[in-house]
Amino acid sequence: MRIGIVGAGRIGGNCARQFARGGHEVKLSFARHPGRLESLAAAIGERASVGTPSEATEFAEVVVLSVPWDLVDDALAQAGSLDGKIVIDTTNQYGSESLPAQGETAARHNAARMPGARYTKSFNTLTSAFQAGVADRPESERVVQWVCGDDPEAKEVVMGVIADAGYAPIDLGGTAGCEVMEMPRREGAVYGEEYRLPEAEQVVEAVRAGEPIPPTPSY
Ligand SMILES: NC(=O)c1ccc[n+]([C@@H]2O[C@H](COP(=O)([O-])OP(=O)(O)OC[C@H]3O[C@@H](n4cnc5c(N)ncnc54)[C@H](OP(=O)(O)O)[C@@H]3O)[C@@H](O)[C@H]2O)c1
């Protein structure tokens, strides 16, 4: 697939490398230092190119939004129309602007900031250093990337590219009920924790049932 990266820093850069390794084409964008995008694209190789955020969006079937929280509006303005585009939002609400309301998930909040987009959220629960090193594990040890969103077909596509990138994708549900995958790290949440598929499936069951999730696994 063609994947546009808006914000190719630590997380967006990992996504670009890992998606390209999984066979996808990536276009990198949104930087104060465009030379870094060129270097990253050169390091990734022939599946990577560089453009403006609107070029990345136009090019893409899937757009990764991976910028600091307070830059989300700016990045979206530069990205232009996301109508019909599948979006993977990696952001966490470490910021001071446009914060979610009490009881509103950050995913729900951000989905509303990109009308017309086929919104999903993923890649937000694990540190960039961890994610950089774990996408090539054997099947039984694969690390879970949680996915939430309200468009089942968009989630299917995103789960496909996540699997191609070397993770175990799992659908946590809609944007309204995805608190457990959002910051901060705390007891009773999956944010900040490594999961593998069997334990993640138990979490999904608990979330669907409106029950507390089982204790955090250790591997
Ligand atoms: N880091 C993590 O461990 C981690 C883990 C999970 C989720 N997340 C979330 O994912 C999102 C991206 O995080 P990240 O750590 O990948 O961020 P990052 O490394 O700081 O990357 C942000 C990118 O945006 C670009 N950018 C353009 N204009 C900018 C500006 N005015 N100020 C700052 N950056 C600007 C930067 O390029 P230039 O420097 O060239 O401008 C950089 O490549 C955040 O919402 C974060 O909460 C992060």
Residues 124, 212, 161: CA angle, nearest 5 degrees: 30
Is there an atom of ligand 1 within 6 Å of 146 CB?
A: no
Mean pLDDT on 176-181:
98
Is there an atom of ligand 1 within 6 Å of 186 CB?
A: no
Is there an atom of ligand 1 within 6 Å of 4 CB?
A: no
Average pLDDT of the chain is: 98
Q: pLDDT tens digit string along 33-69?
A: 999 999 999 999 999 999 999 999 999 999 999 999 9
pLDDT at 157 over 90: yes
Q: How far is CA 61 from the centre of its chain?
A: 15
Q: Residue 52 burial (CB < 10 Å; 0-12/13-18/19+)?
A: middle
Q: Whose CA is nearest to atom 47 of ligand 1?
A: 92
CA of 33 to the centre of ligand 1 (A): 12
User: What is this structure's pTM?
Assistant: 0.99
pLDDT at 136 over 90: no
pLDDT at 30 over 90: yes
Is there an atom of ligand 1 within 6 Å of 66 CB?
A: yes
Detail the DSSP E strand segments found in 66-132: 86-89, 118-121
CA of 71 to the centre of ligand 1 (A): 9
